Structure formats: C-alpha cells, structure tokens
Chain A
Amino acid sequence: MARRRSAPAPRAGTAARRPPRPAASAARRRGSSGWTEAHVHRLFWRAGFGATAAEARAWAARGRAATIDWIVDGPPGGTKLHGPAPRVDGRKLDPVNEWGHDQLWWLDRMVRSNRPLVEKMTLFWHDHFATSEQDTPRMLAQNRLFRSHALGGFRPLLKQVTRDPAMQLFLSLADSTKEHPNENYARELMELFTLGRGYSERDVREAARALTGYRSKWTNKGFQGIRYEAEEHDDGVKRILGRRGRFGVDQVLDLVCDHPRHAPFLVTKLWQFFVAAPPSPATVRALAATYRRSGLQVKPVVRQILEHPALYRNLAAPDLVKAPVVYIAGALRTTGSAITDNWPVWLSSTMGQQLFQPPSVAGWDWGPRWMSSNAVRQRFVLGNYVVNYGRPRVRRGAYKASLRPDRAVAIAIAAVGSPPVSAAERAALTRLARHWFDDIPKSWRDKADWRAESLQRTLRHLLIAGPGAQLC
C-alpha cells in the first residue's frame, strides 16, 4: 500500500540528532512548507468540491499526510452535514415528490458533507453505472447504494448494481428470460462497466443467457420489485470469455471482475476522473497492482491517485475542467453559500449535466467536452445567483467609491472565499476596478458609491464565474 512510505533507515551516527528525511522528496525536505494552501485547494477540488478559506489555511498547516487521511478516511465520528439544511420556498426539501428536489438534495450533500470524497465517488459511480429515466424513489435508492459502496470493493458493488431495480429496468435485465434473453445489460456490463474491450459478440450473447432469471413485478399500484425466478434462468452450458460452464449471475460477474482487462480498465477510468493528463503505462500497472492486491478495493487506488505527484503538477495553472455539478456545488461550498432555490437544477441542466438523468448508459462526456459557447455562458449566469442570493452578497452602502482599485479587488477575493487567484487574473481585475468609474466626471467620482457596489458585484461575479473558475 502506498499509504505511507516507510522512512529510510537512518544513517549511523546521525540518527540521534536529526530526524530521518527521504532525500529524494523535495516536498519532505521543505517540511510543512512543501504542503501549501495551493496543494489543499487542488486536492479538495479534485477529491471533492473545493476548500473554504478556513479549510485551506487549516489543512495547509496540518500537512500532507493528515490532509489526505482526512479526505480518504474521513473525520472520526462519521458523516455529518455542516450548517443548516436547505429550505426552498420556506420548506424543507422533498426529494421524492417535488420536481428537482432530488437533485438539490444531492447537491446539498456535496456542499455540506464532511466526506466530500464520498460524494465525489458517488458521482463517479453514478456516471460509471449511468442509469436514467427511472422513478425518483428507485434513483434515490440507487444513489444510496453508490454512496454506501463509494470507496469499497468493486465486486460487491457490481453484484448489488446488477440487482438494483433502477438498473435492471433501465437496461432490460428485468424480464430477460431463458426463452428470450435480452443482451442489453450483458453488453454494457462488458463494454462500460468492467472491461472496455477484449470480448466478443458471442461473449455478450452467452453472458446474457447466464444473467437471465429476473422478473419484475407490477400491480395496479405500479412497480413492486424484482424477483429472481430459477425456472426463468438458463442453466445450460455457456462459453464466456474463454471459459465453459453452467454459469449463473454471480459467476458471470466474477468472470468479468477476474478478467485481466478489468483492473487496468477501472483504474484508468478512476485516474481520468481525478487527473487531466493521461496515466503512464507504469502508473496504470502500479494502480492495477494495488487494486488486485487489495481484492478489487477502490479506496487504496483512489488514495494512491490522490497521493500521486501528477495530481499536484503546475498548481498555478489548473488543467481539469470542472463538471457542471462540481462547479455549482463548489461555488456554493467555497463561498459559504446555501441552497435556497431551484436555480441550480435548471442551470446545471443547461450546462450539460442533470443529476439522475445521464444522457445515456455511457454517462457524461467529461473534460474538455463540457465546454461550449453555451456552457460558458450558462456558467457565467451562475455568478448572478451566487452574488445575489449567496454569502458574497454586496451590502448596500458598504463600499466607498474612494476605495483604491487593488483594495476593491482584495475585498472581493476575500468575499468569495479567497480562491487561488493568479497574478495575471488579479491584474485584469485591478484594471477593471481602475476604469470602472471612467464615464463619471472626476469631480463626482468620490460620491458615486452606487458604482462601488456594482464594481463589487462584477468583481465577485468574475471570480466565481470567470474563465479561470472553470478549471481546477
């Protein structure tokens, strides 16, 4: 396990006076200064939904190992949601019955949970086992399944997902019978869930036979559940992935999990979720080895990725495009704002991501594909909502027109949670502040305090929703 590298053996004679330090690690040599607020921001965005100013300060002081432990294992005392529960139109959320509240309910967890990595991995599984067009209670049940297995073993997760009613109905595994096997689930099981490639059309058909036997039950009250009926299962001999046998459901799932292509497939996909640059073949081998050695556990692989130097490369120039829900939840979380209205629901959808409605069983297209002229414009709109209804609200009469431009920018940066701002970005904002009053005659300017307010709005808006805020 890559959890903690053991310290090298101390050199004879010096051990008593100096603590051992691995010579190869520049970060270690610099001690706590090798782990900065910039590292914390990077880690919190990749593993979660960004860090508040207080989190960045505190975790930079506590160091790398403590921060990664907290992210991966969580704080003692278990999962908690910080702060007051959201209210929309003065009422608590009703995820099952109110339109959009299912999405708000999950977004709120992303904003307030003390286990951001668990929510992030729940999002990973929602994309990986993408299911859509199902009734809300079934989707919420599936969401609970993903959350409880977020960092657990892949094999038990796959076995549960295969039996999950939302998935079974979405990919027609329910009512795929001996007489009429339906290939839908078998195909995506291999292509999208476990292997990517390396199987044949025949493997799909034979696996479909092995997965038969589930029946859905419906009454006039609607869907009543899924039952396995042995007489609907095809118990004949199948040939799947080069093996012959009277395979049943769990045996097919074991076959794909134990297939040599599975580990590289899954660890690569996990890597791509956290890091923009592709993994080297050696990295894939190392992650796959960790994954196999742990018995297909996800947590040690994720920990190894979060510890990898590639994740912290070029801290001043982030290169991963934030997914829409990560962008929205992150803007709320890092500015200390709460969900108070439905706007995140439609805004997220017009940015190209609607929770519980992935566009297809392949999930969403991540990375640069999130970007388009429309997506950027919708992401810009988010700034209006956060600045008008969130914590970075601009108070009336609080700002003077006589404020110096660099001071106005500093106030705005602090008001939105002190995100990392590059020198070039700061210069652009300061320039904007300097010219904001240009159309007002000089003699009036010092009295134009209303204009100081619109300057604060604009600066905060650009910090929350400008081009730089799209990357982490």
Chain B
Amino acid sequence: MRPVHKGCDDFRQTSAAARDRWLVPRLSRRQAIGGGLGGALAIWAGRAMDFGGVIEAATAEAAAAPAGRVLVSVFLPGGADLLDTLPPVGQYGTYADLRPGTKLASPPLLGGTGLGIHPSLTEGIGGGVKGLFDAGKVGFLPGIDYANPDLSHFHSRHFWETGLISERAAPGWLGRWLDRHGSAENPLQGLTLGSTLSPVLATGKAPVAALESPRDVGLDVWGTEDKTRPRLLAAWEQLTHATRGGGDGPQSVRTAAVLAKRVGDRLAPYAEKDGKDPLAPVVAYPEDDGFSTRLSRLAALIAQPLGVRVAAVQADGEFDTHDNQPEDLARALRSVSQGLAAFQADLEARGVADRVMTLVWSEFGRRPKGNESAGSDHGAGGVAWVQGNHAVGGVLTVYPSLTALDRDDNLRVTVDFRKVYASLIEGWLGTGADEVIPRAGAYGRLSLVR
C-alpha cells in the first residue's frame, strides 16, 4: 500500500555520484529515522580533527573577515499553523467555517494583502513582527512546504534540516554550506544557541559549536590556581588523544572535547571583568524568556569579531497545537514576536543589522479544518518568513486556497522550501546553491534579498 502522504524521494532521482557529494558516506551507519532512536544522526565534525593544526589564536582569521554576512535559522518546532498566524481575512467566512474553535475574531490587518496577522505578532519593540513587516523588513512565505509532504514531525523536520527529501542521515543544509565555505578552525562560525547542536548546522568536517551562554564556556577546576591552568588544559588535550576507540561515539567525544576547549579559549576575552560585561544586551529583551535570552546572546556574539556565519536558535513555544490552540499559539507567537523584534533592534543598535538575515521556519503546517479539541492536526502548506534590513518585505508567495484542497483535505503547497534555501544561499550568502541543494536549479528562485 502506497502511503498517501509520503515525501516522494526525489533525491533518489539524482545520480549516485551527485548523491555522494551531499551524503558523507560514513554517516549512513544507521537508519536515521526508522529506528526511532537517534533521529537524524549527525556527526557534525565526523572527520578526524587535525589536532596538530589546532590554531589557538584563530581570532586573527576571524578578524580578517569580520563583516561576513550572517544567516540565522529560527525553528518553530511542532508545525506552525498558517491559518491562525496569517488569517486570510479576504476569505473570512470560509476561514471561520473551517476554524470555529480557534478563529481570530478581528485580527490586525497586513496592509492591503487580504491577510490579517495574529495579534501576538504585534507584540514587542516597534510593534513586533508586524512592525517589522510594516517597515518592509519581513517577507512572509505562506504555503511553504514540499510536494506530497510527510506529516511525521521527525521525517519532515529532518528534510527541512538537511534540505534533502531523504531519510538518510546527512549534514544539515547550512552545515554543508560551512563544509564548502567555512573555516577549518573556527567552531564559532556555526553557532547553535542552546545545549545541543542544531541538526541544521551539522557538518561533515567543519567545526561548529553549541552554547547556552558565552559566559559558561571555560574548563575550570575549582580550588586551583590560574598558574596551573595551562597544565590542566594540556592534560585535557592529552586525555582527548588518549580516548581511543573507533566509531561515531568516540569520534564525537574527541571532536567535542577539542571544540569545548577551543570555544572556551576564544570566548575568554569576553568574560565579565570589573563589573563590565562586554556582551551585555543593548536593548531590553523580554525577561524570563529563554528564546529571547538566546537571541540576545547571539546578537552580542555576531557583533564581535568572532567569525559567526550561520546560527541556529529554536523557539520555546508549543506549535504542535492539537488542542488548546488559541492559548498555546498566542503564547508561542508572543515569545517569537517579542524576541525577534528585540533581536532586530539589538542588531541595529550594534550597527550590524545590515549583515544579518533571519529565516523563521517550521516543519509543516496544519490542516485547514480544525478539530474538536480547539486545535488542528498536522497538515501541509505552512508558514515561514525572512527578516532583516535586506529582506524583501511583503507577502512573497501565493497564499493557498481554502477551498481547492488536496486529496487529504490539506492546503496545496505553493512554494518548495528548497526554493527558499537556494534563493538565500545565492542571494544572501553569495555562493552557488547547487553545491548545497541537489538539483537546486529545478526550484527556481525567489527574490528574498534586496
């Protein structure tokens, strides 16, 4: 029986040689998703690190290219709903019929687009995400997905993370970009703000880093003197070498041990000193909001000559709104809007906003017809947006019809996410999309960057 909603594996249609360029062969060790265990296997610096070549003073290299453009990936986990995020007020009756349990009564309007916007997205500095839209700094991408979407969170998320409609383990799409265009030394070039590495930034060989806070990075033993510290760190390196064993586990430990030391070394100059915090935020972010805190740290790090090129942050809220959607989505979008508006203001105040572009995305959308639990089930045709001083503003893709649905009563997909990836790689990062996205030419391009 052919599954109705299964991503057609168009990746298989490429030649074997082409596939091998994107899939690091040793990553295929284990079925990434089918087993349930492990999700996407990402050995993010799987090749042997050149220990001898570890350059401790790599700051010089970063300083040589301090003004590189930065692409930030913001993931809304769970499958964010299009209809209640950008309600189609032009077809309000149809919308209200589909969503008796969750519909927004009179949402703020997005200019003359025929769309409204969730009131939570007006919250934050300067009117939140809506304020940024009004200023021409947000371009919405309704109907984004891929043909015949797979409604499993884990499959779809893996496809978005890797930019490949394939269940095989592979580096992330921005990780592949780093493998081609990044540094062989600087882990801060690919930065996850969070305790575990984002699969979007999983690389085949380029070093990348994950951190919760730039303050909590040093390898310190309590009750020892500063004088002995270099000896501790030398022992750490020897113990890293001494960690024998083949396979992905020992390799991941060795690599992470090297990177932990290097991240600690590189961020040591930014430690708080004499009550002064060189990384303090320059605008007010919402308090007690993890997403905002991570964004504020990211903004501070981007503004330093640390060579950050791609970064990933995950939102905190609940977007898998099978029930209680009105409250959960309002809370989740409020955090997103307040955080992203403060992030943009922070980047502008630091004078670096011209070189940062943000892509906000989710793994799929939700079914137009709501369920009885005041929620909505997994569906196709979601919502994403680009944000930044150089983002093209407006509604950049066709809003899916509410009446001409697919055979599963889902929205019809109006733009493939790989078209957005290819457009950002070329238009923003300035490199060939074909190197990262297989058959990138087939998707066409969107004008996302001005």
Interface residues in chain A, defined as those with a beta carbon under 8 Å from any beta carbon in chain B: 128, 133, 171-172, 175-177, 179-180, 182-184, 187, 191-192, 196-197, 199-203, 242, 265, 268-269, 272-273, 276-278, 314, 316-321, 349-352, 360-363, 365-378, 380, 383-384, 387-388, 422, 424-425, 427-429, 431-432, 435-436, 438-439, 451, 453-454, 457-458, 461-462, 466-468, 470-471
B444 in the interface, Cβ–Cβ < 8 Å?
A: no
Given A172-B323, A175-B373, are A372 and B192 also a contact pair (CB < 8 Å)? yes
B15 at the interface (CB under 8 A from A): no
B223 lies within 8 A of A388 (CB): yes
Q: Which residues of B line the A interface, CB within 8 A?
A: 1-6, 29-30, 34-44, 77, 151-154, 187, 192, 194-197, 209-212, 216-225, 227-228, 231-232, 234-236, 238-257, 259-260, 262-264, 318, 322-323, 371-373, 375, 377-378, 408
Contacts of B35 in A (CB 8 A): 196, 265, 268-269, 272
A172 to B154, CA, bound (A): 18
CB-contact partner of B209 in A370, A374, A457, A461, under 8 A:
A374
Q: A317-B250, A424-B241 are in contact. Are A374 and B196 (CB under 8 A)?
A: yes
- Residues of chain B within 8 A (CB-CB) of A362 are 36, 39, 153-154
SS class, residues of chain B in contact with chain A: loop
- Which of the residues B209, B245, B408 comes within 8 Å of A373, measured between beta carbons? B209
A374 touches B375 (CB 8 A): no
The answer to whether A467 touches B249, judged by C-beta atoms less than 8 angstroms apart, is no
A278-B29 in contact (CB<8A): yes
A186 to chain B, nearest CB (A): 11
In whole Å, how far is A234's beta carbon from the nearest beta carbon of chain B? 13
Q: How far is the CA of A121 from the CA of B209 in the complex (A)?
A: 32
Q: B151: which A residues are within 8 A, CB to CB?
A: 187, 201
Chain A residues with Cβ under 8 A from B192's Cβ? 372, 374
In this complex, what residue of B is CB-closest to A180? B372
User: In whole Å, how far is A199's beta carbon from the nearest beta carbon of chain B?
Assistant: 7
Contacts of B253 in A (CB 8 A): 321, 371, 376, 467, 470-471
**Known A373-B263, A466-B236; contact A457-B371, beta-carbon cutoff 8 A:** no
Assess the A375–B196 pair: CB atoms within 8 A: yes
Q: How far is the CA of A130 from the CA of B365 in the complex (A)?
A: 23
A371 near B252 with CB under 8 A, answer yes
B370 (CB) vs chain A CBs: closest residue = A180
Q: By the criterion CB–CB under 8 Å, are A316 and B239 in contact?
A: no
Q: How far is the CA of A319 from the CA of B262 in the complex (A)?
A: 24
User: CB distance A458 to B250 under 8 Å?
Assistant: no
Central interface residue in A171, A183, A377, by most chain B CB within 10 Å:
A377
A375 contacts B257, CB within 8 Å?
Answer: no
Q: How far is the CA of A371 from the CA of B38 in the complex (A)?
A: 12
Q: Are A373 and B187 in contact (CB under 8 A)?
A: yes
A-B contact pairs, 17 of them (CB 8 A): A177-B372, A180-B371, A182-B322, A192-B36, A199-B3, A201-B5, A321-B249, A321-B252, A361-B153, A368-B43, A374-B194, A374-B260, A376-B260, A424-B244, A466-B236, A467-B254, A468-B242
Residue of A nearest to B247 (CB): A319
Q: Assuming A371-B253, A376-B257, is B3 touching A457 (CB within 8 A)? A: no
- Which of chain B's residues have a CB closer than 8 A to the CB of A276? 247-249
| In the complex, residue of chain B having the shortest beta-carbon distance to the beta carbon of A440 | B227
A163 vs B248: C-alpha distance in the bound complex, in angstroms? 38
Docked CA distance A461–B217 (Å)? 17
Question: How many Å lie between the Cα of A176 and that of B211 in the bound state?
Answer: 40
Question: Inside 8 A of B408's CB, which chain A residues have their CB?
Answer: 201
Q: How far is the CB of B363 from chain A (nearest CB, A)?
A: 11
